[in-house]
Every structure is written in structure tokens, then in C-alpha cells.
Structure 1
Amino acid sequence: MAGPITVGFDGSPQSLAAARWAAREAELRGARLELVQAWPWAAPHLLAADDAVAEGRRWLNHAETELRAMLPEVEVTGTQIPATAVDTLLEASGRASMVVLGSRGLGMLRGFLVGSVSQHVLARASCPVVLVRARDEPADRTADEAADKTPDGTPDEPAERTAEVVLGLDLDRPGDEVLGFAFEAAALRGMPLRVIHCWRPPTGDEYRSFTAIAGMDEELTAGEQQRLADAIAPWREKYPDLEVSPALLRGSAAATLVEAAGRPDLLVVGRRSRRGALGSRLGPVAHAAVHHVHSPVAVVPHG
């Protein structure tokens, strides 16, 4: 990937956590890190606009200084752009290798508090978008503990982080972009890759005997296992030293993936880039992942 890693930065703890995560990713990939701050109140005649812009510039300067001290090898730039955040980030996604956004944490339903900007960018960006929850950044753990509560007020503790990359793969539309991103991410981290495909066998004819249904079930399962093996085989050849564990799981793709993923170093899912009648949107699996998985989630567009 030749483009920069771009972070949507607004000075909040979650955007700073996203910037720290992105800086480490930029170091792994040898990429430039770009902090982008967009102002929806960009019209110069608005009250206190100059003060707001100046304050935003101070936030950017502080973040740039911290990130350069943390990772001196990474080139860091910060830019203010007088446009809406959605327009700015979507434009940036056309030249970036990755866009990274912050999320506020887990809410009352134990799901991500994904703002409207993130939802628009996740659904329409031209490049992979990674959503980082503030609590995924150790330095921000205390600041965000209040956001991570169950409905009765007790801490919603995630499972312990596992040193692996997990890919949720749709075998009907696997996408080389999705597979390539996941394999590369695991290889760069020196971590194993777990590839999960969730499926449901078709309902058997109620008039078939149980023995026939059992035999058909075994045949269908073997067929899905072979499809999964075939999908990842070219990438295993490309990354021969990477430990890859394919997993075929039964159940609803969204719910099963969220439960099975646990808390990996990174979860990768795909998003079809084709626009539907209602415009671009996240599919149910990507939607569930970004709202309910504790780890950073990469949503990779593909044809």
C-alpha cells in the first residue's frame, strides 16, 4: 500500500486512541501517518469560528508531537480542512491506504457507539476503514472506563486479547482485497490468522429419512470445507510462513462471527463496494462486527 494511513482526528480521547493505533500500523507498513481534522462550521462568518479553528490546531500540534516522540521513524502530518468530516474522509479514502476512526466505547447494549460520521465512512470509503475503540488503547483505559458499563452499572469487561488476526470470510463473495488485507495484516504482525466462514445448510426435505439427511449433511459440510480451503489456498502459497487456521462454523453469519471472534488483535470483514437501490451501506456482518466486537475492526471494500 503506497498511500498514507489517514486518521479522522477531532481532539477527543477516542480519536487520539485511533491515532496511536494508526501510528503503530504506519510503522509496521512503512507508511506516512496523516491526521485530518475537518470542521463542519467552516464558514468564516460564524461566531467564534477562528477560536475553534485555533483550538483545533493546538489539539493537532499536541497529537503530532506525542506521536513523533512515540514513534520517531513514522512521518506524521496534521491538516485542518474546512469541510464536513464525512466529505473530507471520503475524499481522503481515495488516496489513502487505510482510514482509521475512533469509537467512544461500549454503550448500554454492549455495542459500539458508532457515530453518524463513522457509519457513513465505513459504508462508502474507497479504502479499508479501521474502527478503533478508545479502550483498545491502553493509555486511554481509565478515561473510557465510564463508557464500558453494563445496564446495571457494572464494568463490561471484554475477553482477554488474543495475539491473532481473525478474518470473517463470505465464500459467496470472498474478495481478493479482503483476503489480501487479512493475510498481510497477520504477516506484518507475526501473528497467526484464523479464517472463519459461517454457514447454514439448506433445510432438508421433511420426507427424507434421517439417515439420508445425515449423509447429505456430511456431504454439504465436506463441500463447504473444500470451498474454504480452495479460497485461501492461493494466499497460503503467497504467505508460506504464516500460520493459518480455517474454521467452518454453523449459524447466522453475523451472530456467529461476533461470538467466535473473541478479542483478536484485529478483526477483518468485507464490504461490497457496489451501490444498491438505497445507496452504499454496511452488510449485516460488518454492521454486527463494528457494533459488538471489542477489537479494532477493519472493513475492507471489494467488488
Structure 2
Amino acid sequence: MDGTIVVGFDDTPQSAAAAHWAAGEARRRGVPLDILQAWPWHEPHVLGSYDAVQWARQRLAGRLVELRAEFPGVEVDAAQLPEDAADALEAAGRTAVMLVLGSRGLGAVRGFLVGSVSHRVLGRAACPVVLVRTDDADSAATSAAREVVLALDPHRPGDRVTAFAFESAALRSAPLRAVHAWDPPAGSEYMAFAALGSLDAELEAAARRGLAEALEPWRKRYPQVRVETRTPRGPAPVAVVEAAAGAGLVVVGRHTRRSPVGPHLGAVTRAVVHHVQGPVAVVPCG
């Protein structure tokens, strides 16, 4: 497998968790790990004295030593760059296998905080971006046997997204759960009960058919992966978040679409990023 895994590190607990998860993933994939620490301390308005830079460099070196000791089979390197963190990570992502970032939990109701750097990287990165939770003691080992959940729209399947999910399941020897939610069209609630029941049955059958057809080529390519499908009725963001409970990894797609206020992740991806407890992989579709 070519390329490296790049993890953003700023000495926060969430970035430490991300680095640990990334090292385990690098070992699983047989690729090197690069720890990237970046902030524009060369700019006059940025607080970054010589002592602060040296302290950050020491913390980065300490993390490098720890990961090399814990993952002796993984080639681990580190770099400190005087650049904007999002720009540096985006540049690294052009040649990386994946980027790994940490995200902080805000509680069951409020979800997870995705900072400005993570949000910019999620919307712009050319490779998959994995968000790791601070309290996810995953280490890429304890979650290895837990299933991989794939949010898939058969009408816009995205080969890169499906390939990443199947590959991740195969590397973990874990089952794959593919989820596609469906909802009756607006206004159907005014139909007669018998007609509505018939429509629901038709829509559910069509959802199952479409999902099976989208997965068939990948089942053949990865016959060792046990696949389960779910086609719940209801809003897709809610259905996918519920289906992802307890998963070792959740995989969602990102269609490149810009809005006046920045990258648009889509309702399902946004819900998963903010409300799923475990690691989340956001994969660019095109």
C-alpha cells in the first residue's frame, strides 16, 4: 500500500488520541505515519515566542518517542511547520493515504466539537479524513473486531467511499453494515391508509434492491467481508447515526459542493461527524 497516514498534532488530548489511533491504523495498513504539527508562529500577530516553539517541539518529540516505542513495527516520523494548520494538512493530504484528526466531545446532547481547522480540512482534503474522539480508547486495536458502518446512497454510491469501507472492514476482519434510509415523498401522509401501506412496501423494496445492486461488485471483490444491509424508514441523518452506535468505524462520503460560508458537507455527513461516538471517516466522492 503506497502513501502515508498523516495525523495532526497540537498536544491536546484529542490530538494525542488521534495520533495513537493513527499509529494503529498505520500498522494495520503497513504504511508509515507522519505526525504533523503546524501553526504560523512566524507571523507577527500570532503568539509564538522562541520558548513556545521549543516547548512545542519538545512535546512533539516526546510523542514521537512514545509512539515508536508502542508501535515498533511502524515507521513514525514527525515534522513541525510554521504554516497555517489547515493549509499544511490539506497539502499533506494530496499524497497521503488518509488524514487523522482529533475532535472533542461536548456531551450526549450537544455532540462533538469540530473546530475550524478540522472543518476546513474535512471540506477540502483530497484523501479520506478520520476524526477520532478523545474518549474513544480505541487505539485502533480494541475496535478492530467491531463492525464498519457505511452510509450509502445507491443513487450516488461513490466508489471511493464504498472501496474505503470494504477495505477497512477487510483489514480489520470485521463485518460491514451498509445503511440506506428512505422516506415517503412529501404529501403521502394524506393518502389513504391502504395506499400508504402499499407505497411504503414498494419504497422499502426499491431501497433494498438499490442497495443490493450497489454492493454486489464489492461483495465479489471482498468475499471475506460479511455484509449486512439495513434500509430503515425515516430521515437519513437520524437513521445513520442510530445505525452507527457501537461501530468501530463509520464511513460517509463528501460530495464536493461549495456554499458562500465554506464547504458543504451534507446533512448525513454533518450529523455523523457531530453525533457518532466512534471514529468517523469522511471520504471525498470525486
One-letter code of the match for 1:113? L
Whole-Å Cα distance in 2 between the matches of residues 169 and 210 of structure 1?
A: 30
One-letter code of the match for 1:212? A
One-letter code of the match for 1:266? L
What is residue 58 of structure 1 aligned with on the other side?
Answer: 58
Pick closer, same or farther for the CA change 1:222–1:71 going to 2, 3 Å: same
**SS in structure 1 of the partner of residue 6 of structure 2:** strand
What is residue 245 of structure 2 aligned with on the other side?
Answer: 262
What is residue 230 of structure 1 aligned with on the other side?
Answer: 213
Pick closer, same or farther for the CA change 1:252–1:96 going to 2, 3 Å: same
One-letter code of the match for 1:252? P
CA apart distance, 1:212: 3.3
Pick closer, same or farther for the CA change 1:175–1:88 going to 2, 3 Å: same
What is residue 144 of structure 1 aligned with on the other side?
Answer: none
What is residue 142 of structure 1 aligned with on the other side?
Answer: none
Aligned residues of 1:124 and 1:281 also touching (Cα < 8 A)? no
What is residue 272 of structure 1 aligned with on the other side?
Answer: 255
Please give the per-residue CA displacement for 1:16-70, whole angstroms capped at 9, x wherever unaligned: 1100000000001111100000013233797752212111111111111111111
One-letter code of the match for 1:296? P
Aligned residues of 2:102 and 2:134 also touching (Cα < 8 A)? yes
What is residue 154 of structure 1 aligned with on the other side?
Answer: none
1:28 is the counterpart of 2:28: yes
Q: Percent identity?
A: 54
- Matches of residues 62-211 of structure 1 in structure 2 within 5 Å? 62-107=62-107, 109-137=109-137, 163-203=146-186, 209-211=192-194
Whole-Å Cα distance in 2 between the matches of residues 138 and 212 of structure 1?
A: 47
1:288 is the counterpart of 2:271: yes
CA apart distance, 1:259: 1.7
- Matches of residues 10-25 of structure 1 in structure 2 within 5 Å? 10-25=10-25
Q: How many residues align?
A: 283
**SS in structure 2 of the partner of residue 242 of structure 1:** coil
Aligned residues of 1:196 and 1:246 also touching (Cα < 8 A)? yes
Whole-Å Cα distance in 1 between the matches of residues 188 and 113 of structure 2?
A: 43
Pick closer, same or farther for the CA change 1:48–1:81 going to 2, 3 Å: closer
**SS in structure 1 of the partner of residue 248 of structure 2:** strand
One-letter code of the match for 1:131? L
**Higher mean Cα deviation, 49-58 or 268-277?**
268-277
One-letter code of the match for 1:261? A
CA apart distance, 1:281: 2.1
Please give the per-residue CA displacement for 1:240-294, whole angstroms capped at 9, x wherever unaligned: 1110001101111111211221021101111102445654221111111111111
**Higher mean Cα deviation, 256-265 or 162-171?**
162-171
5+ residue gaps, structure 2, are none
What is residue 299 of structure 1 aligned with on the other side?
Answer: 282
What is residue 147 of structure 1 aligned with on the other side?
Answer: none
Aligned residues of 2:144 and 2:174 also touching (Cα < 8 A)? no
TM, length-normalised to structure 1: 0.87
1:41 is the counterpart of 2:41: yes
Whole-Å Cα distance in 1 between the matches of residues 164 and 144 of structure 2?
A: 20
**Higher mean Cα deviation, 194-203 or 244-253?**
194-203
Aligned residues of 1:38 and 1:81 also touching (Cα < 8 A)? yes
Whole-Å Cα distance in 2 between the matches of residues 269 and 115 of structure 1?
A: 19
CA apart distance, 1:205: 5.4
**Equivalent of 1:253 in 220, 236, 245:** 236
**SS in structure 2 of the partner of residue 219 of structure 1:** helix
Aligned residues of 1:161 and 1:264 also touching (Cα < 8 A)? no
CA apart distance, 1:118: 0.8
TM, length-normalised to structure 2: 0.92
One-letter code of the match for 1:298? A
Pick closer, same or farther for the CA change 1:40–1:108 going to 2, 3 Å: farther
Aligned residues of 2:27 and 2:73 also touching (Cα < 8 A)? yes
Pick closer, same or farther for the CA change 1:220–1:204 going to 2, 3 Å: farther
Whole-Å Cα distance in 1 between the matches of residues 97 and 5 of structure 2?
A: 6
Whole-Å Cα distance in 1 between the matches of residues 262 and 80 of structure 2?
A: 29
5+ residue gaps, structure 1, are 140-159
Whole-Å Cα distance in 1 between the matches of residues 200 and 108 of structure 2?
A: 40
